[in-house]
Chain A
Amino acid sequence: MKKILATAILSFSLYACGGDADVSDVKQSDSTSKNQSSKAAISPEVIKSFVDKIPSPMVISSLIKEMGVEYDQGLLNSIDNESKYNNDYRRALNLGIYSTDLGYANIYEKTQDATNLLVGVKDMADALAIGQYFEFEKIKELAKSSDKLDELLRVTEENLQEVNNRLQSNNRSDMTVLIITGGWVEVMYLACNVAKKKRNKDLETTIADQKVVLKQLVELLNYYDSTPKMKALHDELVELEKMFGEIKITLVKGEDKTEAKSETMVVEQGDREEAEMTQENLDKITTKISAIRNKIVN
């Protein structure tokens, strides 16, 4: 009976872990082992809470399109660069870059570019052993239909969320941090270059407000300072943060108003922030973000 019970408990335990059965399939990143000692001190919950709050690059890409700015293929990272990404550090950063570019192409309904970029996303994800969490065929099909943009954005976002969850639960949160950082650098590169060509108050405010996100990324990367490459990236972002600190931001205080309308509680915020971005601020930030991005993609 003891044997029966032991066998049954073993079966049960293995099955109960079924949700994470593919954990062993996910390879350890090449930075993981070097970084283990510093990582051990970081609670996965802390990393998750940081990662969860980083906004999707889609918000800025949408704003760029709604400004009436034409799509610029020249801003995208070329798929031809793929062969340069020969380690997990570069793959993860460029997975973030290609994902942001994919979102940008999708929003503009540029099917051919989206299909090419999807190859880049797939190759980077496969090389990082996380390709199984992307529904590539589904994304490819949705990208072909202009009336399925909402579903496409949802599937892409859900896939990225799943990848990040898997990486974190597999002790590869360093890769998550790099994917997110790459994605943010790319959307800032897009936004700054669009703003330089056509100055727009809304876009400049959005760029200035990115200091909040940048602060989160700097804090996140700080946890991995025992890895030289991540330390170098952290230091670059710290320099960028100083440039953001030079932008004048005024807070106008006000009272919040809330009202229940139909089935929704509608909030009108009282406080209002206004950023004054000078040409010098924009030039400095654009130059720095382009330099950081250049190191990542080339």
Chain B
Amino acid sequence: MKKIVILSVFLMTIASFAQAQCDVTEFTNKCADRLKPLGFKYLKSYKLDFLNGSKKQIMYSYVFSNGTNYIVTLANNQKDNKGLYVTLLDSEKKPVASSYVEKDKKYLSAISIKCSRTGIYYLAYEVKEGKEYCGSSVIGFKR
């Protein structure tokens, strides 16, 4: 009986560790905290769990409205969200902008857009380098 209990506790600990691997609360707060100083209101958050690298890209879509400013903020366990970036694509899945600046090898923490054409926009999140496979993204808006 003792062995059962010990083994169960051991396995539960492993399970607990596995579940806690991508806790994005802190990252979501970090993203959301950036909104207010820039005049944006919270709209939606996305958990970015790349499953330890087995997932190469996480894609979400959202309807952006004409005349509204949107900001897509990013955060992971790195101070400057190194490794994590987002590409914004239009309704035809044509890239509009990326938070990764190739020429400077720099990861920006957000993309902002003043939408002048209502439609479905796609947000493609990827990890380019490093092993930070857990992060968060928050969309904010202002008129």
Q: Which residues of A contact B (CB under 8 A)?
A: 3-5, 7-9, 11-12, 15-16, 18-19, 49, 52-56, 58-59, 62-63, 66, 150, 153-154, 157-158, 161, 202, 205-206, 209, 212-213, 216, 251, 256, 258, 260, 263-269, 271-273
Whether B96 contacts A256 by the Cβ 8 Å rule is yes
Specify the chain A residue showing the minimal Cβ separation from B9: A11
Given known A-B contacts A265-B98, A271-B117, A153 and B41 have beta carbons under 8 A apart: yes
Q: Which residues of B contact A (CB under 8 A)?
A: 3-4, 7-8, 11-12, 14-16, 18-19, 32, 35-36, 41-45, 60-68, 71, 88, 96-99, 101, 104, 106, 108-120, 141-143
Whether B118 contacts A273 by the Cβ 8 Å rule is yes
Nearest Cβ in chain B — how far from A294, in angstroms? 26
Whether B42 contacts A150 by the Cβ 8 Å rule is yes
Q: List 19 interface pairs A-B (beta carbons < 8 Å), by A numbering.
A: A4-B4, A8-B11, A11-B11, A12-B15, A18-B15, A18-B19, A54-B63, A58-B41, A62-B41, A62-B142, A150-B36, A212-B119, A260-B101, A263-B109, A263-B110, A264-B109, A265-B99, A267-B112, A269-B116
Whether A19 contacts B19 by the Cβ 8 Å rule is yes
Whether A55 contacts B41 by the Cβ 8 Å rule is no
Nearest Cβ in chain A — how far from B15, in angstroms? 5
Whether A209 contacts B118 by the Cβ 8 Å rule is yes
Whether B112 contacts A265 by the Cβ 8 Å rule is yes
Whether B15 contacts A56 by the Cβ 8 Å rule is no
A269 to B18 Cα, complex, angstroms: 42
Nearest Cβ in chain B — how far from A109, in angstroms? 14
Specify the chain A residue showing the minimal Cβ separation from B61: A53
Whether A264 contacts B71 by the Cβ 8 Å rule is yes
Nearest Cβ in chain B — how far from A128, in angstroms? 22
A273 to B111 Cα, complex, angstroms: 21
Whether A206 contacts B67 by the Cβ 8 Å rule is yes
Chain B residues whose C-beta falls within 8 Å of the C-beta of A52 in the assembled complex: 60-62
